[in-house]
Amino acid sequence: MANPFYLRDVVSIKDFKREELEYLFEQADRFLEMGYEEKSKYGRGKLMALMFFEPSTRTKTSFEAAMLSIGGHVIGFSGARGTSMEKGESLSDTIRVMDRYADVLVIRNPMEGAARYAAELAEHPVINAGSGSEEHPTQALLDLFTIRRLKGGIDGLRVAVVGDLKYGRTVYSLLNALKLYSVEVYLVSPPQLRIREEALYDLKGMKVHLDVELDEALKLADVIYVTRIQRERFPHPEEYEKVKGSYKIDARAMRLVKEDAILLHPLPRVGEIAPEVDGFGQAKYFEQVRLGRYLRETLLALILNENP
């Protein structure tokens, strides 16, 4: 297969086919084994611009680590503070300026549609690093890569998705990625944070079980994907206070989980997975972080090189 990622935007996971994801994962397997000497040729002489308008630890630093690992360079900013947006410069001009410097742009913005907007403006490829409650496609790519590595494949799995299904952009991207596979999905959430109707509409044709009890899902799942409540997306703080702390994976819950199941979380966690869970063999969220860096290395190398 010719490289389907070359000079391509990564705005929505829905823009990709299963065979394209498989191509990426096979290349990422290769990058996992590769030394710096070999992989550093893929980014040599290339510049990546980060434009993060929301806080980030993993996505921002893993893209930085990934670009440096393939021999490239990084510029950019975190938050509009310190940029000329403080003087009134528009988002569109800011994107156009960064596009004049960089070979690839990575944007995180609280507005839904912001990454698509950037992709339409920019000549260079744009990667969506999170757009409001809408999408976080590279998180979904690394989630699937992790599942595939740790479970030996994706087809046939039972996947429980637990937490904030209403505002969680990682959930929406993950579910749309899983739709390309033959899996059964179990959705667990407080009633106020059920998946949005329009999101459910996109999942037509997928085996999805709604409003599953947490304990039931923990017993049957091969993959348990937990998310935090997205406090920053709530229109009113009191609505957040009503659901805060309404679910928790602790040692008691872990005793229900199958021995060969894996527990994932896009992180950050803010109480929904107790620290005591870290010692359980099924807890794989930090391995997920590690694998994510390689997935992003691979993605950047494929975007920047026609024949990697």
Which positions lie near ligand CP, rule CB under 6 A?
56-59, 130, 136, 139, 266-268
Catalytic position from the list 108, 158, 166, 265:
108
- The residue from 39, 46, 136, 169 that is catalytic is 136
Q: Confirm whether 149 is a catalytic residue.
A: no
**How many CB atoms within 10 Å of residue 75?**
12
Quick check: is 96 catalytic? no
Please say which residue, 59 or 133, places its beta carbon nearer to ligand CP: 59
In angstroms, the CA 127 to CA 119 distance is 8
User: Least CB distance from residue 180 to ligand CP, whole Å?
Assistant: 21
Min dist. Cβ of residue 144 to ligand CP (A): 14
Q: Is 213 buried (19+), middle (13-18) or exposed (0-12) by CB count in 10 A?
A: exposed
Q: Which of 94/170 has CB closer to ligand CP?
A: 170
b/e 100-123 (16+ beta carbons within 10 angstroms → b): eebbbbbbbbeeeebbbbbbebbe
Q: Indicate which residue of 39, 46, 58, 158 is catalytic.
A: 58
**At closest approach, how far in Å is the CB of 248 from ligand CP?**
19
Distances (CA, A) of 68 to 62, 71, 94, 163: 10, 5, 24, 34
- Residue 81 annotated among the catalytic residues of the structure: no
Is the Cβ of residue 21 or residue 289 nearer to ligand CP in the bound state? 289
Which residues, listed in sequence order, are joined to residue 186 by a DSSP beta bridge?
160, 209
Integer angstrom CA distances of residue 187 from 146, 225, 234, 248: 20, 10, 20, 15
Q: Residue 269 — φ and ψ, nearest 5°?
A: -100, 145
| Marked catalytic residue, from 8, 39, 59, 166 | 59
Q: What is the DSSP string of 108-124?
A: EESSTTHHHHHHHH-SS
Q: Is the Cα dihedral 252, 257, 261, 262 positive or negative?
A: negative
CA distance 7 to 184: 34
Please confirm, yes or no, whether 231 is among the known catalytic residues: no
Compare residues 115 and 212 and give the one whose CB is closer to ligand CP. 115
Nearer to ligand CP, 106 or 193 (CB): 106
The kind and range of the H/E element at 161 are strand 158-162
Strand-pairing partners, residue 78, are: 52
* Catalytic site includes residue 108: yes
- Nearest approach in angstroms of CB 308 to ligand CP is 25
Minimum CB separation of residue 129 from ligand CP in Å reads 7
* Contact between 39 and 301 (Cβ < 8 Å): yes
Q: Which is nearer to ligand CP, 3 or 146 (CB)?
A: 146
Least CB distance from residue 300 to ligand CP, whole Å? 16
Q: Which residues are catalytic?
A: 58-59, 87, 108, 136
